[in-house]
Amino acid sequence: MSDLQNDRLIRALLRQPVDRTPVWMMRQAGRYLPEYRATREKAGSFLSLCKNTELACEVTMQPLRRFPLDAAILFSDILTIPEAMGLGLYFETGEGPKFRHTVRSAAQVDALPRLNAETDLDYVMNAVSAIRTALGGEMPLIGFTGSPWTLATYMVEGGSSKDFRHVKGMLYGQPEVMHALMAKLADAVTDYLNAQIRAGAQVVQIFDTWGGSLTGPAYREFSLAYMERIVNGLIREHDGRRVPVILFTKNGGQWLEPMAETGADALGLDWTTDIGEARERVGDRVALQGNLDPAMLFAPPERIREEVAYILSRFGRHNGHIFNLGHGITPDVNPDHAKAFIEAVTELSPAYHQ
């Protein structure tokens, strides 16, 4: 890993010794930064920003100029795959993503095109390549995707949902149609992540945002099984280096043991799971990423520091901890509080690695 000036993240993901706990934030390039808001305004819309190589690269680099982070994460969206399948992604202010077309029948699942990520999502690969160049080997770049189940929730519901009535109706009432959709999405996601890895992503994360909405049996059958299929289909060595995979199911703390059996290198934890208990359950099988409550960043900096100290103490003196929030940073956070969080990790964590 000599070509990376800072390889803490990759070493920690592979449960190797590090000098301090690496730290990055989900949504670290985002609306809490005034420079991001200015760049998004310049782009005209969120999707235009994602599709503009120069501006996507710019917003990826913005938090790295402010904070002592240990990784860059590709600026993109989890819904790029269904957007490329022609479902008409758009964003309503204050309402999140929506699709003009839904997928609710066997015929509609069959009609979904098979994607070639390198051509159909070339703007993502262009961004990955440009960010790698801009990083100049300073730190690793994380690529990502939504999980098949999470993509399906948006595709079937047509947007965000409180009760998932359409997608769960399909899962329980037409399981064969749901499996057909999951299989198609798993293939697309595998291709998409492998294209990101070939373009320069050195770590990849699968965001299973809505896996925690399922029952245990449904989670294992319709979410976890397809994420395991993806993990097994990924390029795991590239440019002479292992490419670690992080699996993150929000509200999935009850399923850590089966998640640890998928072949992923690390599991992301949201803030509802105690990281010390999680480590006791999975041992050294996987690294753990997390898990400060994002709302803690609304507290005073000294309280943020206390919570960082507590989470570090709960994980203890072991290899394989990547510090992160339990979900994405929220738009109204003061950047100085994000700085206090990151600096607390960099200052307090070396004591656990001596």
pLDDT band at 95 (very low <50, low <70, confident <90, very high): confident
pLDDT band at 1 (very low <50, low <70, confident <90, very high): very low
Q: Is residue 5 marked as binding?
A: no
Mapping DSSP onto H, E and C, the string for 95-159 reads: CEEEECCCCCCHHHHHHCCCCCHHHHCHHHHHHHHHHHHHHCCCCCEEEEEECHHHHHHHHHHCE
Q: What is the mean pLDDT of residues 12-23?
A: 98
Confirm whether 82 is domain-assigned: yes
Active-site residue set: 27, 31, 40, 77, 154
Amino acid at 145: T
∠ Cα 157 329 165 (to 5°): 15
Q: Is residue 299 marked as binding?
A: no
Q: How far is CA 174 from CA 101, 177, 196, in A?
A: 20, 5, 33
The total of structural domains in the chain comes to 1
**Could you list the residue range(s) of the whole structural domain that residue 286 is in?**
8-353
Q: Which two tokens stand for residue 350?
A: 């070396």
- Tally of CB atoms within 10 A around 172: 11
**Least trusted range by pLDDT, from 91-95, 163-167, 286-290:** 91-95
Asked whether the predicted pLDDT for residue 52 surpasses 80, the reply is yes
pLDDT band at 3 (very low <50, low <70, confident <90, very high): confident
Q: Is residue 102 marked as binding?
A: no
pLDDT band at 122 (very low <50, low <70, confident <90, very high): very high
Q: What is the mean pLDDT of residues 126-148?
A: 98
Q: Which two tokens stand for residue 261?
A: 């059996």
Q: What is the mean pLDDT of residues 159-166?
A: 96
CATH of the domain at 233: 3.20.20.210
Q: What is the pLDDT of residues 280-339, one digit of tens each?
A: 999 999 999 999 999 999 999 999 999 999 999 999 999 999 999 999 999 999 999 999
Confirm whether 1 is domain-assigned: no
pLDDT band at 94 (very low <50, low <70, confident <90, very high): confident
Q: What is the pLDDT of residues 326-353, one digit of tens each?
A: 999 999 999 999 999 999 999 999 999 9
Confirm whether 62 is domain-assigned: yes
Q: What is the pLDDT of residue 2?
A: 47
Q: Is residue 16 marked as binding?
A: no
Letter string b/e over residues 140-168, b meaning 16 or more CB atoms within 10 A of that residue's CB: bbbbbbbbbbbbbbbbbbbbebeebebbb
Q: What is the pLDDT of residue 93?
A: 75
Report the mean per-residue pLDDT for the chain: 97
Confirm whether 3 is domain-assigned: no
Confirm whether 2 is domain-assigned: no
Q: What is the mean pLDDT of residues 212-226?
A: 98
Confirm whether 237 is domain-assigned: yes
For the chain, what percent of residues have pLDDT higher than 70?
99
Confirm whether 113 is domain-assigned: yes
Q: Is residue 29 marked as binding?
A: yes
Confirm whether 266 is domain-assigned: yes
Q: What is the mean pLDDT of residues 178-184?
A: 98
Contacts of residue 202, Cβ cutoff 8 Å, sequence gap at least 6: 4, 10, 140, 141, 142, 238, 241, 243
